[in-house]
Structure 1
Amino acid sequence: MAHDGEELIRRSFLDSAANFTALAGMAPQVAAAAERMIASIRAGGKVMFCGNGGSAADAQHLATELLGRYLRNRPALPALALTTDSSALTAIGNDFGFVDVFARQLRGLGRSGDLLVAITTSGNSPNVLEAVKAAREMGIGVIGLTGQGGGALRDACDLCLCVPSAHTPRIQEMHIAVGHLLCELVENAFA
């Protein structure tokens, strides 16, 4: 039994390593996404994040890295996760439907010049896609973070970072790594 577990561990680490090696080829797209975030903040905008489940946790994590600090002390940067207000999520979900939980918040909190980072491993989460649609209507830029292929999100964004895996756990590993790099690049611009 332990042997099977050890083999699973080895395969998982090797799969992750191969994915990260492939992800290195996306350096230009990641740098471009960071530049969009920097430009939005410099122009007085904010960065908003949304996603479901593990992607919701990533949204909260990344917003906090910008609002607080990633590695260096510097001024707080305007960022928020549309995943953290349980009263808003449950009220909007109850009154309008779960598909509107992010779009409704975006319509109340966002403005032209802001930036939405939409996170979905499949690229097909209806509530994330609805938030992207709302962002488009409002003049809010959109960066997508998804898995291989990109789903419907791929063509709905200004820039979509489709990490090179179709396996949810591996996608999520790469999403947080990309997110950390985005935060570091943004932080470096303002530190």
Structure 2
Amino acid sequence: MNETDYIAQYLEMEKQTLEALDRDAIKAVLDALMETYQAEGTIYVFGNGGSATTASHMANDFNKGVSEYVDRKFRFCCLNDNVATMLSIANDISYEEIYRFQLIHKLQPKDLVIGISGSGNSANVINAVSYAK
């Protein structure tokens, strides 16, 4: 397969992926974000590896990007952006607690927690989301 064919195949897969997205699920996420924003709650986001980068980028997009154009700023906090905090928790307590521990005594009923995991099996993400529930 040459590069042009590969590009065409890739673009077709992108189109199929976009068409397959669950629009109701996307709306539910947007509704949750707006509900938290209107309540002046904090949105905590986190993940591991590439998901950590996605979480960090998401926080940046809202803290600067979206917030640049609204009167009241979003309150996003990416729990994986402070490496020293994560490593001290991992070293002194356990790696499975690096996100949950950060939520203890901070999380409020008006807040939202978004854990990102490609596998869905990340114990530290699951522990934090379970705590948030």
Q: Smaller-chain TM-score range?
A: 0.7 to 0.9
Supply the distance in 2 between the matched residues of 1:71 and 1:130 (Cα, whole angstroms).
30
Q: TM-score, normalised by structure 1?
A: 0.63
CA shift digits 1:110-157 (9 cap, x unpaired):
222200111111211111101111111xxxxxxxxxxxxxxxxxxxxx
Count residues in correspondence: 132
The within-5 A match list for 1:1-191 is 3=1, 7-23=5-21, 26-70=22-66, 73-74=69-70, 75-136=72-133
List alignment gaps of at least 5 residues for structure 2.
Answer: none
Compute the RMSD of aligned alpha carbons.
Answer: 1.9
User: Percent identical across equivalent pairs?
Assistant: 25
- The answer to whether the 8 Å contact 1:64/1:80 transfers is no
Pairwise CA distance, 1:70? 2.9
Larger radius of gyration: 2
Deviation at 1:101, TM superposition (A): 0.8
Structure 2 counterpart of 1:188: none
Q: Which runs of 5+ in 1 are unaligned?
A: 137-191
